Amino acid sequence: MTRTNTGLLGVIIAYLAMMVIIGIRYSRKNKDVSDFYLGGRKLGPLVTAMSAEASDMSSWLLMGLPGLAYISGIADPGWTAIGLAVGTYLNWLFIAKRLRRYSEKLGAITIPDFFSKRFHDKSRALLGISALIIVVFFVPYTASGFSACGKLFGILFNMPYVPAMIMSAVIIVAYTTLGGFLAASTTDLIQSIVMTIALVIVVFYGVSLAGGIDVVMENAKTLSGYLSMTHSHDPNGNTANPYTLLTICSTAAWGLGYFGMPHILLRFMGTKDEEKLKLSRRIATCWVIISMGIAIFIGIIGYSVSLKGHTEVFTDTVHSETIILQIAKLLSTHGFLAIILAGLILAGILACTMSTADSQLLAAASSVSENLVHDVFGIRLSKKTSMIVARMTVIIISVIAVIIALDQNSSVFNIVSFAWAGFGASFGPVMLFALFWKRTNRFGALAGMLTGGIMIFIWKYLVRPLGGILDIYELLPSFILACIAIILVSLITPAPEKEIIDEYDTI
């Protein structure tokens, strides 16, 4: 191993060691499963905001988004970012405070738990189905994070992909199983800072490599539709494809996903003071807008870096998603300080991946151990045994995710896109109606959840391939159909009991 690679590895190891130490520290503060999954509702406004957004962004921010911008220009990632920015703000504005208050009144510590208690579902159907949905969509989502880490180490250190991916998974599992929610939220705050530093370093160094900002913009202007918000660039022939109003709505529909993201909604439930959520909203929205804007710009810079001959010119997103890794590798050749900075960039990519993976693992683990084992199957466990089961669940789910991640030939953006749609359509409409329409009953909630989840698969694999006006992001039609199902089924079935209505009116 060269001196450069040794230095890079040293920075990354120091960073990973810090994450594990935080996990050990917070393991002593977990007295029960409520602490493990919600941190005892002790999160401050800054940690709430930054951990929610860090757990949201994943490796998609530093790999998926720049890679898409590199290939297709700004329209695809731009409208996606606009949708996500609006969705972020609305989620904090409408969902955060009401969910925090409602979940505390019900004593709910997971999203399935909240749905079940909100509708007084004695059949536990809502609990069981929502828990299964979390596992179905989170396991491959987590696997994509493990895969991103494996690719990172493979490219930089010429390590075999599988050992690199497993090593990364072990680190993430270590601090998650030790520290639970508080550890994940605290490390997510740190990781959001590291991500920001990484983005800034890449922008300045990338512009320098490309020959200046003027060169970057001139190169971008030579590509048809590259800098247009109404056209998408096609690298196969340097042509521009029209970006219709339907396509814009479809792409911006990413923002709808926020209303159903368990790992983000849990941050709302875990905040200490609901009155500080306004501050959290401002911090979160500003960070999301700035970070996504910079990530898209990095993709544009990356194209000019390739034209200068510093990297090969990529023609597909699987390879263009590595542009930040390539820039970091180039930076590391300029001496000791450059190695430290390059190490921070790589730590930023790890931060993106780890901050999402730890949150996903907690959400999936809580669904299995707390909702399925304890609530659905009725297995009563002591506090100590519940903690052991929770940690064992994290490990088992991680093993399954590692097995899935053995296939390295997949796009981070595409995997995240599908999982995002799954949660958005399954949980988003149910969450909105549970919080804001008192006439919603458990039959409507169940119908909406099943409709949203099933339609994601139907639209993705059966309808969308037909093309034409049907070629839209599966989240949009599935979300709309789920809302319709909730309204219709709730209206044709008995109204909620007076006890449920009275409970709703006190929130």
pLDDT grade, residue 425 (50/70/90)? very high
Strands (E), 92-168: none
pLDDT at 476 over 90: yes
Give the tens place of pLDDT for each residue, 158-216.
778 888 888 878 877 775 665 454 455 555 667 667 777 878 888 999 999 999 999 99
Residue 352 confidence (pLDDT): 63
Q: Supply the CATH classification number for the domain 3-412.
A: 1.20.1730.10
Please report the beta strands in 408-451, taking only residues with DSSP state E, as ranges in sequence order.
none
Return phi, psi of residue 437, to 5°: -135, 110
- Asked if 351 contacts 54 with a C-beta cutoff of 8 angstroms, the reply is yes
How does residue 354 score in pLDDT terms, banded at 50, 70 and 90?
low
Q: Is 336 exposed, middle or buried (0-12, 13-18, 19+ CB in 10 A)?
A: exposed
User: pLDDT tens across 478-502, in order?
Assistant: 999 999 999 999 999 999 999 999 9
Q: If you ran DSSP here, which 8-state letter would residue 494 be given?
A: P
pLDDT at 75 over 90: yes
Which residues lie closer than 8 Å to 26 by C-beta, 6 or more apart?
Answer: 178, 179, 180, 182, 183, 186
What's the DSSP call for residue 28? Answer: T
Average pLDDT value for residue range 355-373: 70
Cβ–Cβ < 8 Å for 267, 43:
yes
CB 397 within 8 A of CB 135: yes
What pTM value is reported for the model?
A: 0.82
**DSSP code, position 124:** -
**E strands of 18-171, at which residues?**
none
Residue 460 is given by DSSP the state I
Q: What is the per-residue pLDDT for 76?
A: 93
Structural domain boundaries in the chain: 3-412
CB count in 10 Å sphere of residue 461 = 10
Beta pairing partners, 232: 241
What's the rounded mean pLDDT across residues 128-136?
A: 87
Residues 6+ apart with CB under 8 A from 33: 109, 366, 369, 370, 383, 386, 387, 390
Q: What share of the chain has pLDDT > 90, as a percent?
A: 39
Kindly state the helix (H) or strand (E) to which residue 242 belongs, with its residue range: strand 239-242
**Residue that has been written with the tokens 């390295």 in this structure:** 408
What digits encode the pLDDT tens for the residues 374-413? 777 777 767 677 767 777 877 888 888 888 888 766 666 6
